[in-house]
Amino acid sequence: MFLKKVMVAGAFIMLGNTAMAGCGISSGNVNVLANDFPAIQAVTDAVKACAGNGVTVETNLTKDHKDIMVAALTANPAKYTSVITSNSTLVTLMNDGLVRSLDDLVAKHGAALNPSQMVTVDGKIMAVAFSANAQHLFSRTDVLKKAGISSIPATYEDVLAAAKAIKSAGLMDYPVALNTAPGWNLGEEFVNMYMGTGADFFKPGTAEVAINNAHGVATLNMLKSLVAYSNPDYLTYDSNATQAEWEAGNLALATLWGTRGAPILDDEGSSEAVTSSTVLSSAPTWGNNARPASTLWWDGISISANISDEDAEATFVAMMNGISSDVIKANQEKAVWLGKGYTPTSASAGVSATAAGGAAPYPMLPFMGTLHMAVGNEMSDFLQGSESAEQALTDIEAAYTASATEKGFLK
Amino acid sequence: MKNRTFFWFILPSLVTMVLFIALPIGSVVIQSLHIEHSAVLKEVKSCGPFGCKNQVQIDVEATAALKEEKPLGQFTGFGTYKNRNHLALNELTKAWGTSSTWEHYFSKVYNLPFYRALAFTLTYTFVVTPLVLLLGFCIALGVNSLPKWIKGPTIFVSLLPMIVTPLIGSLILFWMIDAKGIFGASLQWIFEDPNLSLKASSTLTWIMLIVYGVWHSAPFAFIVFYAGLQTVPTETIEAAMIDGASRWERTRYVILPHLVPLIVFISLIQLMDNFRVFEPIVGFSAQASATSLSWIIYNDLTGSEGSFFGSAGATSVLTILGVAVLLIPVLIRTWRDFSRKVV
């Protein structure tokens, strides 16, 4: 039986290599919904190569994928056969039972995958991860050197000291940036920083929030100290804004997404002086804790529940083509790939170092997203100085409790 | 008109109104009275590229059975309306009990998301509406007294702010008021303050949104008033001139009374529109300083981690009630005018 599976899988790999168009599928529909960044574009371009011979391939890459995925997959048949998910979006889809288990498909077509790529919940494979991502530190060594700092900051206390040195040397007024736009981005900064304390977000085994404590206060205070060195407009900063500021040479220290590494380091949109002195390093630790203050994310493939088995199989095979080692080899710098054929590059140094430093993955809890939004919406008053850290935490707790009750997580 | 004829005459619009107005509102009301089923949770082992952990997950099958039984969710009555994210009745009572001064009390109320949004929504509505009326009227008077050959181009240019899509218009202004944009940089130069940022201060953000609102809506008032000005009877104006009325007196005692129905009309539309203020908040990324009721609904519906239909429904119903309260004075006036004409 096992031998047979291996032979079938082997046969598909052979087919995939010899017949370029077709990828070994003869019929079925493939329709992929995903976020929009270079690594995913590389994957979906390879998936599109499977079109033809009775196979249709469509893709929809949009940063608003999270907003439409639940409605699109609830329909029967689902509008998309596959969504490229991450830690948090997979949970949202699983909460409503919208993605199918991949055990059979992986057994049949997944021989080329690393075992670590499997995302299993309760023993069932629910997604196949293909790349890793995390927010980590970006530093400008030339500016640091001018301010008399020779090493890359390893802790947020060092970041603050370096920012102070840069400011007092008159090099930059606002050397620091984080993705601090209220909502999801600001929520993520809190989650990352709180992760660095090693404390839990919820009372174990329950949906009751547990951030209203000394760790929460310290987290808020650390974020406030950092934004004191940010441009006064920081409450409008999302990933695109911080990347643009970095490329314009206005920043010296920033916590940005790993996937922004490649676009920042390439020769477009920035000057030689900025790109040549930009160094990507691990997310800093803080408060004498060992764990980097960041969350590890993966991007992975999921297959919709409400589609025919034929389409599911066609989609899975096409997606395997999208994350094959050939694709990885041709796009080394675009992501930290988890599949075979990847050799780390300078653009991935930050994510690798953050993972190696022991950062924790973003919690795959059904109510994490609700807390994330409550934090992101209730925190800006504190950062602007109009309320105390304790009040902000009480507000977050109250907002979360009301929302989680509505979602049925709390009674 | 006979009752029977009237019925057939009105039927198509009645059906459309029931289908597209009454039924959706009814469904929103029903939705707002429900919350999702209690999630059946179970602890399972989940593994990924970064290791394994025992974590709580939703028991999809058990939850699906609950949903199958009652697709609307659990009935909670006005629970969602009363909770902290909406009317926050408990929090209000508590704040009342623990506050020594009015100022203290209001700062506590302002800390609640619904009242914060309401504060901005009402301020916006009551500042923008009169300013739009005033500015629109002034532009209309100005354009009306221009020589004929220049009127067409002037009207076209004056209408531009209304033609631009609100979201695009606010995004364009957003970049202009950036510290490096033309307005932002000019303001820094005028006030000799290199740290002045319109986006960073709550007060300045409110002013900016209000200025944007006036800029965007004034052309609407202008074009309506301009049309109205064409109907002012020249005989009356001439008579007033012969009586020695100055330009100001003619405007005050002849033109304005003639335009009262239009003022009522524009106020009605503007009160409704401004109470629903939404696009500029998104365009200006202003949610840290200013939120509106519509923005809360949007935020509930597009929350990337699943939507809060009950919350969105409750806020929608409260918005409808708010619009109704705002419009009552104007509607009473219209009704009086109407009854007077009939009698």
The tens digit of pLDDT for each residue in B81-94 reads: 999 989 999 999 99
- Whether residue A47 lies within 8 A of chain B, CB to CB, comes out as no
For B36, the closest of A232, A338, A407 (CB atoms) is: A407
Least confident of A129-133, B230-234, B276-280, B329-333: B329-333
The residue type at A368: M
Q: What is the pLDDT of residue A68?
A: 87
**Are the beta carbons of B306 and A364 separated by less than 8 Å?**
no
Residue in A335, A349, A149 with CA at minimum distance from that of residue A252: A149
Contact (Cβ atoms closer than 8 angstroms) between residue A77 and residue A298: no
Q: Of A118, A111, A84, A116, whose CA–CA distance to A99 is shortest?
A: A84
- pLDDT given for residue A394 in this prediction: 94
A282 token code pair: 């691990």
pLDDT at A15: 42
In degrees to the nearest 10, what's the CA dihedral of A302, B37, B32, B298?
-20
Residue B195 DSSP class: T
Confirm or reject contact between B35 and chain A (CB < 8 A).
yes
pLDDT of residue A18: 37
Cβ contact B202–A95 (<8 Å): no
Rounded to whole angstroms, the Cα distance separating A300 from A90 reads 9
Rounded Cα gap, residues B91 and B110, in angstroms = 11
Q: Does the beta carbon of A199 lie under 8 angstroms from any beta carbon of chain B?
A: no
Query: Once rounded to an integer, what is the mean pLDDT over residues B187-200?
Result: 83
Q: Do A399 and B58 touch (CB under 8 A)?
A: no
Assign A3 a pLDDT band (cuts: 50, 70, 90). low
**B285/A181 touch (CB, cutoff 8 Å), yes or no:** yes
Residue of A nearest to B40 (CA): A409
Helix H or strand E segment including A303: strand A295-303
Confidence check: pLDDT of B125 > 50: yes
B304 to A67: CB separation less than 8 angstroms, yes or no: yes
Is B305 in the A-facing interface, judged by CB distances under 8 Å? yes
CA distance from start to end of chain B:
17
Name the residue of chain A whose CA is nearest to B79's CA. Answer: A406
Closest Cβ–Cβ partner in A232, A298, A365 for B48: A298
The alpha-carbon gap from A233 to the nearest alpha carbon of chain B, in Å, equals: 5
Tell me whether residues A205 and B48 touch, CB distance under 8 A: no
DSSP B64-125: HHHHHH-TT-EE-TTHHHHSTTTT-HHHHHHHHHH-SSHHHHHHHHHTSHHHHHHHHHHHHH
Instruction: Give the pLDDT of residue B199.
Output: 81
Range A238-249 average pLDDT: 91
Range with lowest mean pLDDT among A22-26, A159-163, B127-131? A22-26
pLDDT computed for residue A17 by the predictor: 41
The C-alpha of A52 sits at a distance from chain B's nearest C-alpha, in angstroms, of 33
Q: Do the first three CATH levels of A2-133+296-350 and A134-295+362-406 match, i.e. the same topology?
A: yes
Residues from chain B that touch A402, judged by Cβ atoms under 8 A, are: 83-85
Write down the mean pLDDT value for chain A. Answer: 89
Report the residue of chain A nearest B80, measured CA to CA.
A406
Contact B105, B91 (CB under 8 A): no
User: How many Å apart are CA B16 and CA A390, to the nearest integer?
Assistant: 52
pLDDT at B305: 65
Chain-centroid distance, C-alpha B120? 10
Residue A13's pLDDT is 45
At B286 the three-state DSSP class reads coil
pLDDT of residue B36: 87
Q: Does the CB of B44 have a partner CB in chain A at under 8 Å?
A: yes
Q: Which of B37, B84, B311 sits opposite A408 (nearest CB)?
A: B37
Does residue B98 sit at the A interface (CB-CB below 8 Å)?
Answer: no
The angle at the Cα of A278, spanning A183 to B195, to the nearest 5 degrees, equals 55
3-state DSSP assignment of residue B56 = strand
3 state SS of B303: coil
Residue burial A51-62, b: 16+ Cβ < 10 Å; e: rest? beeebebebbbe
Q: Work out whether strand A55-61 and strand A28-34 pair parallel, antiparallel, or are unpaired.
A: parallel
Check CB contact under 8 Å for B35 and A405.
Answer: yes
A-contacting residues in B 49-88 (Cβ below 8 Å): 49-51, 53, 55-58, 60-61, 63-64, 73-74, 80, 83-85
CA distance B35 to chain A (A): 5
- Least CB-CB distance to A398: which of B37, B46, B84? B84
Distances (CA, A) of B210 to A150, A281, B124, B164: 48, 44, 6, 17
Give the separation between CA B271 and CA B128, rounded to whole angstroms: 9
Distance CA A241, CA B89 (A): 39
Cβ B197–A361 below 8 Å, yes or no?
Answer: no
- Record the tokens describing residue B217, joined without a space: 């809506």
> Inter-chain contact A207–B85, Cβ cutoff 8 Å?
no
Within 114-173 of B, beta carbons closer than 8 Å to A belong to none
Contact A162, A147 (CB under 8 A): yes
Helix or strand (DSSP H, E) at A299: strand A295-303
Look up residue B177 and give its two tokens: 């008021």
Nearest to A356 by CA among A290, A300, A299: A290
C-alpha A92/C-alpha A139 separation (Å) is 34
Work out the number of other CB atoms within 10 angstroms of the CB of residue B228: 20
Find all residues with CB under 8 Å of B97, minimum gap 6, and list them: none
- CATH number, domain A134-295+362-406, options 3.40.50.720, 3.40.50.2000, 3.40.50.10210, 3.40.190.10: 3.40.190.10
Q: Cα(A33)–Cα(A303) distance, rounded to whole angstroms?
A: 11
Place of tokens 């609407």: B220
Residue boundaries of the structural domains of chain A: 2-133+296-350, 134-295+362-406
What percent of chain A has a predicted confidence (pLDDT) above 70?
95
Buried b (16+ CB within 10 A) or exposed e, A220-229: bebbbebbbb
CB contact under 8 A, B288 and A182: yes
Question: Where do we find the tokens 């935020």?
Answer: B299
Distance CA A261, CA A245 (A): 14
- Give the integer Cα–Cα distance in Å for A325 and A339: 7
Locate the DSSP E strands across A82-173: 82-86, 118-121, 124-140
DSSP class of residue A304? B
Residue B283: closest CA among B172, B178, B198, B207:
B172
Which of the four pLDDT bands, split at 50, 70 and 90, describes residue A263? confident
Residues of B in contact with A76 (CB under 8 A): none
CA dihedral B26, B28, B31, B33 (to 10 degrees): -80
A60-74, B49-63, B267-281: which is most confident: B267-281
A366 touches chain B (CB under 8 A): yes
User: Which neighbouring-strand residues pair with A118?
Assistant: A128
According to the model, what pLDDT value does residue B327 have? 87
Beta carbons of A366 and B303 less than 8 Å apart: no
- Residue A180 contacts B, CB cutoff 8 Å: no
The class that CATH gives domain B112-334 is mainly alpha
| B119, B206 contact by CB (below 8 A) | no
Read out DSSP for A313-333? HHHHHHHHHHTSHHHHHHTGG
Does residue A213 sit at the B interface (CB-CB below 8 Å)?
no
> Considering only alpha carbons, which residue of chain B is nearest residue A370?
B305
pLDDT grade for A347, boundaries at 50, 70 and 90: confident
Written as six digits, the tokens of A175 are 């050397």
Q: DSSP secondary-structure letter at B39?
A: P
Q: What share of chain A is helix, strand, coil (3-state, %, to 5)?
A: 50, 20, 35
Q: How far from chain centre, in Å, is Cα A110?
A: 23
**Does position B303 have pLDDT exceeding 70, yes or no?**
no
Over residues B47-61, mean pLDDT: 85
Answer whether A394 touches B (CB < 8 Å). Answer: no
Tell me how far apart the alpha carbons of residues A25 and A313 are, in angstroms, rounded to a whole number.
9
Give yes or no for B307 touching A (CB within 8 A): yes
Tokens of A120: 């299993």
pLDDT (0 to 100) of residue A14: 43
* Residue B195 forms contact with A (CB below 8 Å): yes
**A403 chain-B contacts, CB cut-off 8 A:** 85, 308, 311
Res B218 pLDDT > 90: yes
Task: Give the C-alpha separation, B302 to B283, whole Å.
Answer: 16
Report the amino acid identity of residue A70.
V
Residue B179 CA to residue B89 CA, distance in Å, equals 41
In the predicted model, is pLDDT for residue A4 greater than 80?
Answer: no
Residue A363 contacts B, CB cutoff 8 Å: yes
All residues of chain B having their beta carbon less than 8 Å from the beta carbon of residue A123 are: 44-45
Tokens of A268: 């477009």
Residue where the block lists tokens 């040549």: A276
What distance in Å separates the CA atoms of residue B109 and residue B105, rounded to the nearest whole number?
6
Q: Give CB contacts under 8 A, 24+ apart, made by A351-355.
A: A351/A132, A351/A133, A351/A134, A351/A136, A351/A258, A351/A261, A353/A136, A353/A281, A353/A282, A354/A134, A354/A136, A354/A258, A354/A282, A354/A283, A354/A292, A354/A294, A354/A296, A355/A132, A355/A134, A355/A296, A355/B50
Contact A97 B64 (CB under 8 A): yes
| pLDDT of A8 over the 60 cut | no
Q: How many CB atoms lie within 10 A of CB B102?
A: 8
pLDDT (mean) for A346-360: 89
Structure tokens that stand for A359 in this block: 């950062």
How many Å apart are CA B25 and CA A215, to the nearest integer?
A: 45
Q: How confident is the model over A209-223, as a mean pLDDT? A: 95
Q: Average pLDDT, stretch B110-127? A: 94
**A227 near A383, Cβ under 8 Å?**
yes
Tokens at A162, concatenated: 């370096």
Q: Do B305 and A380 touch (CB under 8 A)?
A: no
d(CA B130, CA B234) in angstroms, rounded, equals 28
Helices (H), chain B: 3-17, 23-32, 60-69, 79-82, 89-98, 102-110, 113-144, 148-163, 166-176, 182-190, 202-229, 234-242, 247-250, 256-275, 279-283, 293-302, 309-342
CATH architecture of structural domain A2-133+296-350: 3-Layer(aba) Sandwich (3.40)
